[in-house]
Amino acid sequence: MGSSFQLGKVIQQFRIPDKVINGIIHNLYLKIHLVKILVIGGTGKTGRELIKQGLEAGYRITALVRNPKKVKIDHPNLRVVQGDVLRPESFGKAFQGQDAVLSALGHKRFIVPTSILSAGTRNVIVEMEKQGIKRLICITSLGIGDSRFRMGLYYTLFAIPFILFFYFRDKAKQEDLIQESELDWTIVRPGQLTNGRRKGKYRTGKNLGSYILTLWISRADVAHFMLKQIEDPAYLHQTPGIIY
């Protein structure tokens, strides 16, 4: 009680900003309970941001990747496991002891029918349920489900029907599998992804995007938002969009 009172006096005396106080509390929490997260798709551009920012935030991270040589980060709190979401027998102990799974699974086989996203996600869900992991945060895209047409005219009339049709169809199946699961899931739907810097200021929620214009968001800010969802239940069982 006395120490809490003294801390309160220090905060009042020096007028420490709430942002700093929250950061101190967050770091103390991580020291008491070092949160362990598994990143799927860690060699992609968004996945690399998840790993980098997650380590900066103090998380202990396991990256499940097909090619470990593509992970260029060396950190004592990073463990790289070679595995393939399409081959669950390759998971080994990657899922064991994890508190949450963040999926940035993607590929570039846009113009041919694939089930990489849905089949891989199905395997991830099965393994999470087997290991007793509840929290899943997965990136898909605006333009899917009840956000249909919200990627703007270019995507609605050209990119999705003529270039990304099979890719978006598989993303829709991926979302269905997640929403039908018993997990504590959040599906993050970004607008057009860029390689810009992290701003930390963006819009999130329902009914975002535009029927006319294509709106943007950096991969760095998407990763920032996804990491915030690990301990924030605000978007539990929801599909928030994210744009500037």
Which pLDDT value is given to residue 52?
Answer: 98
Percentage of residues in the chain having pLDDT higher than 90: 84
Q: Is the pLDDT score of 9 beyond 70?
A: no
Residue 131 pLDDT exceeds 80: yes
Q: Over the chain, what HEC string results? A: CHHHHHHHHHHHHHCCCHHHHHHHHHHHHHHHCCCEEEEECCCCHHHHHHHHHHHHCCCEEEEEECCHHHCCCCCCCEEEEECECCEHHHCCCCCCCCCEEEECCCCCCCCCCCCHHHHHHHHHHHHHHHHCCCEEEEECCCCCHHHCCCECHHHHHHHHHHHCHHHHHHHHHHHHHHHHCCCEEEEEEECEEECCCCCCCCEEECCCCECCCCCEEEHHHHHHHHHHCCCCHHHCCECCEEEC
CA 223 vs CA 77, 79, 85, 127: distances in Å: 18, 19, 20, 23
Tokens representing 201 are: 């200021």
Average pLDDT, the chain: 91
pLDDT band, very low/low/confident/very high, at 238 (cuts 50, 70, 90): very high
pLDDT of residue 110: 85
**194-205: pLDDT as tens digits:** 999 999 999 999
Confidence of residue 25 (pLDDT cuts 50, 70, 90): low
Confidence of residue 5 (pLDDT cuts 50, 70, 90): very low
Looking at the predicted structure, is the pLDDT value of residue 32 above 70?
no
Asked if residue 140 lies in contact with residue 175, where contact means CB atoms within 8 angstroms, the answer is yes
Instruction: Please determine, for residue 27, whether its predicted confidence score (pLDDT) is greater than 80.
Output: no
Whether residue 54 has pLDDT greater than 50 = yes
Question: What pLDDT score was predicted for residue 111?
Answer: 87
Q: What is the value of pTM for the model shown?
A: 0.86
pLDDT digits 0-9 by tens, 143-156: 999 999 999 999 99
pLDDT classification of 108: cutoffs 50, 70, 90? confident
pLDDT at res. 19: 53
Q: What is the mean pLDDT of residues 28-35?
A: 60
